[in-house]
Amino acid sequence: METMPVTHAEIINAKPLEKPYRLFDGRGLYLEIAPSGGRWWRFKYRFKGKEKRLSLGVYPEVSLKAARVRLDEVRPKLAAGIDPAEERRSNGATPAGAVQSNTFEAIAREWFAKHSPTWAPGHGDKLIRRLESNIFPWLKQDSIRDIKPLQLLAVIQRIEQRGRNETAHRALQNCGRVFRYAVATGRAERDITRDLIGALDPVIERHHASIVEPKAVGALLRAIDGYEGSFVTRCALRLAPLVFVRPGELRMAEWTEFNLAESEWRIPAARMKMRSHHYVPLATQAVEILRELQPLTGNGRFVFPGERDRNRAMSNNTVNAALRRLGYSNAQMTGHGFRSMASTLLNEQGWHPDAIERQLAHQEPNEIRAAYNYAKHLPERRRMMQAWADYLQRLKVNQEEWRVSADATAVTQGAESSNDSAYDMKQLVRLRR
């Protein structure tokens, strides 16, 4: 059955999907649409029994009419026994008047379209925005083969000069991945970013601002309870210290991940930084917050939808903006700081370090040990999360003078139960005046 030619209206109305897809025009010509929104004209053909593809430019710089004209120029060569892709490679040529398919930007978008479907939500958005804001405008028309190390360094140093040292390092790493992809696909000779190792100022590690002094923690929790903004945002603020997941994992939470009857939240691997599924035992206080919120957002996908579009998760800056509204500066407390708060205080209280690390979803370097620890510390993590929520509740009602003595919180690392691979622990957190 012959393919119906694509129309200009179909191209205009075509929206990016989760995976790349194609609009076929006929005679081997098609438009490939990437999840990022990039669109490439390609010619699919066979030469000496092998299937091959030739780029004919990037839409909309190359229109539908122009792409068909280019196809008409290429097909006679194929009929004459000439491989158009090999001819172009030998001549170093690209279609005149087009955004060249061998530019850094074109190859970067191609690489992004190929790999981004496997990345965690949010990671791809940050990466492509970083390239679009800091790299593409200065390398837009440059063939990737012609870019020199010092030229790329000058572009990266523009970021560094704005005081965004970590962003500069990340951008250089991203460029390296694009160059290696170009090498693998025959469009570059080598990864020039290797010549720039050590050229940037080293990244000074900065810990996320956090409150860890018990009296100040209590004051923060009371301030959160008094938050007068959006009810959804208030619930996110209240839940954050009880689950201490990463901010992106919290704001992107979906109702299908929760089993409130069983007091559990199972985050799929696709949403986790370490690409491994994560189990969060929910204390009774956390379940109560979620049940309060459920009548408002429970019919939708996201637990914490955006204020303007309920089909999208809340903005990644919502929690931090709410903390600023409560009077906490960026140097005092951040959304990520709830993780540091929990880590510091739980370690002080004597909970098993492996249980804490596992609950923080930090990567276990040994896969066998990781699987073992996942099962071994699960019952302990359930007890820990409830004890933690109870402790925060006491701090919130202004009983900050309560302390956990070392004796009261010592972990009994005794014999394991025959029915349970977790440590047989005593009740750890009986706080005394």
Which residue in the list 70, 238, 336, 352 is annotated as catalytic?
Answer: 336
> What pLDDT does residue 143 have?
86
Residue 223 pLDDT exceeds 60:
yes
Q: Write out the two tokens for 209.
A: 């601002």
> What pLDDT does residue 406 have?
33
Which residue in the list 77, 362, 369, 426 is annotated as catalytic?
Answer: 362
pLDDT classification of 1: cutoffs 50, 70, 90: very low
339 is catalytic: yes
Which residue in the list 70, 246, 278, 381 is annotated as catalytic?
Answer: 246
**Which residues of the chain are in CATH 1.10.150.130 domains?**
105-196
Average pLDDT score over residue span 128-138: 89
> What pLDDT does residue 430 have?
34
- Record the pTM: 0.52
Residue 432 pLDDT exceeds 90:
no
Which residue in the list 42, 70, 339, 396 is annotated as catalytic?
Answer: 339
Residue whose pair of structure tokens reads 């000439």 in the numeric block: 82
- Specify the CATH architecture of the domain 8-88+95-101: 2-Layer Sandwich (3.30)
The span from the CA of 360 to the CA of 280, in Å, is 9
**Which residues of the chain are in CATH 1.10.443.10 domains?**
214-409
Which residue in the list 21, 27, 180, 372 is annotated as catalytic?
Answer: 372
The residue type found at 194 is: R
Residue 206 pLDDT exceeds 50:
yes
271 is catalytic: no
> What pLDDT does residue 173 have?
94
C-alpha distances in Å from residue 208, one per residue of 203, 211, 280, 300, 333: 15, 10, 22, 32, 8
CATH topology of domain 214-409: hpI Integrase; Chain A (1.10.443)
Tell me what percent of the residues of the chain surpass a pLDDT of 90. 43
Tell me what percent of the residues of the chain surpass a pLDDT of 70. 81
Residue 413 pLDDT exceeds 80:
no
Q: Write out the two tokens for 286.
A: 């956390």
377 is catalytic: no
> What pLDDT does residue 311 have?
87
Average pLDDT score over residue span 203-212: 74
The span from the CA of 402 to the CA of 397, in Å, is 11
21 is catalytic: no
Least trusted range by pLDDT, from 43-57, 90-104, 379-393, 399-413: 399-413
The span from the CA of 44 to the CA of 262, in Å, is 53
Which residue in the list 273, 277, 310, 403 is annotated as catalytic?
Answer: 273
pLDDT in tens, 341-373: 999 999 999 998 888 988 888 765 444 445 445
Q: What is the DSSP string of 82-120?
A: --HHHHHHHHT---TTS--TTBHHHHHHHHHHHHGGGSP
pLDDT classification of 420: cutoffs 50, 70, 90: very low
Least trusted range by pLDDT, from 276-280, 301-305, 397-401: 397-401
Residue 70 pLDDT exceeds 60:
yes
**Which residues of the chain are in CATH 3.30.160.390 domains?**
8-88+95-101
> What pLDDT does residue 419 have?
34
CATH topology of domain 105-196: DNA polymerase; domain 1 (1.10.150)
